Structure 1
Amino acid sequence: MTSTTSEPAGGAAGGGLAFRLAGPSDWPLIWPFWHQIVAAGDTYCYDPAMGYDAGRQLWFGSPPDGVWLVSDGRLVSGGRGTEAPDGQATEASGDGLDSGPATVLGSYRLGPNKAGPGSHIGSASYMVSESARGRGIGRAMVLHCLDQARAAGFRGLQFNAVAASNGYAVKLYLDLGFSVIGTVPGGFHHPEQGFVDLLIMFHPL
């Protein structure tokens, strides 16, 4: 990963969004919405009963995997931030952005899809806080991720397991240039819809 902070112009939520690389010490800011999404069992092939420590290990993985935080226009200070009960983080001033509480809106992870001869293809996963949905945060994260994947030298970005029932995600990925390159029939057991297809999606870089 080449840059530690960035701000897409305009932002997708009606104002500036701030992105920065996260570390394991940021897990308390990610866990509340990450856990809510995983526990629902309707989008990710993760164990809905996964606990705090196992979730942190899965999300952060190992180098060269990188995890990003997106907040509402103010960088959540790494190592200096303090978690608040409402999911906000207090940051120290002096980084050129507004001081005060910065709300974490989402997080994504990016790394090689496979090791060795397959490591030139990247893969990513995205989580958006429930309170931030419908504001274009997911789109902003995917666009930011594509830029980071190019900068890291990946030749493509592949999603291995997109539940066909996740209509918003499928439409977003298609709109941003991904294509469906394979389908696992009935590969995902949705808690309400039963067995639905899993899609393999790819974006050349």
Structure 2
Amino acid sequence: MRIRTATDEDWPHIYPFYAAIMAEGKTYAFPEGQSLEEARPWWMEQPPGQTVVATVDDTIVGSAKMGANRPGRGAHAATASFLVDPAHQGRGIGRALGLHVVGWARDAGFRGIQFNAVVEANAPAVHLWRSLGFDLIGTVPEAFDHPEHGLVGLHVMYHQL
């Protein structure tokens, strides 16, 4: 697996699994039913942020976007979001992307990484982030409308660098 900076030409290859994950409605509070062009600014970060892709044999199997969590006085904390193509889940792609983001944030001089909205019903993600050193700071109750579990909490998670 290789992780590299995403290009504009990568977006049409990311979009199908982006759209599938948003349509599933279990992990992101992003708009559903977006066209290719409507969805682009939701995922393709502009500098100083960055979007990366994970590839296996030149096939894009996952992506992450990262940057400052807040502007100004909050810019010392990073944030990130992750997508793994459902056809390739369970192969360590999320972990590799997570490790890449932690290294990127550390190298960029961030003091920590804050995840603002990890769906509490997303047990694999919560387990992954904890295994990479993230602490559960708190949970906003009933902040996410899960299609199977109804109203569930959103975790705020933090990793000090």
Q: TM-score, normalised by structure 2?
A: 0.96
SS in 2 for 1:200: strand
Q: Residue in 1 aligned with 2:111?
A: 155
SS in 1 for 2:26: coil
Q: Residue in 2 aligned with 1:27?
A: 11
**Could you list the runs of 4 or more consecutive aligned residues of structure 1 that deviate by over 4 angstroms after TM superposition?**
none
| 1:32-111 superposed matches below 5 A | 32-72=16-56, 74=57, 102-111=58-67
Amino acid at match of 1:163: V
SS in 1 for 2:29: coil
Note the C-alpha offset of 1:50: 2.4
SS in 2 for 1:202: strand
SS in 2 for 1:114: coil
| 1:117-196 superposed matches below 5 A | 117-196=73-152
Amino acid at match of 1:23: T
Question: For structure 1, which runs of at least 5 residues remain unmatched after alignment?
Answer: 1-16, 75-101
Amino acid at match of 1:28: P
Note the C-alpha offset of 1:23: 2.4
In 2, are the aligned partners of 1:24 and 1:56 still within 8 Å (CA)?
no
Inter-partner Cα distance in structure 1 for 2:3 and 2:103: 12
Note the C-alpha offset of 1:106: 0.3
Inter-partner Cα distance in structure 1 for 2:73 and 2:47: 17
Amino acid at match of 1:68: V
In 1, are the aligned partners of 2:45 and 2:66 still within 8 Å (CA)?
no
Between the aligned residues of both structures, percent identity stands at: 44
Q: Residue in 2 aligned with 1:11?
A: none
SS in 1 for 2:104: helix
Amino acid at match of 1:29: H
Note the C-alpha offset of 1:51: 2.4
Note the C-alpha offset of 1:49: 2.2
Question: For structure 2, which runs of at least 5 residues remain unmatched after alignment?
Answer: none
Note the C-alpha offset of 1:44: 0.4
Deviations 1:87-120 (Å, cap 9, x if unpaired)?
A: xxxxxxxxxxxxxxx1111000010000011011
Note the C-alpha offset of 1:60: 1.6
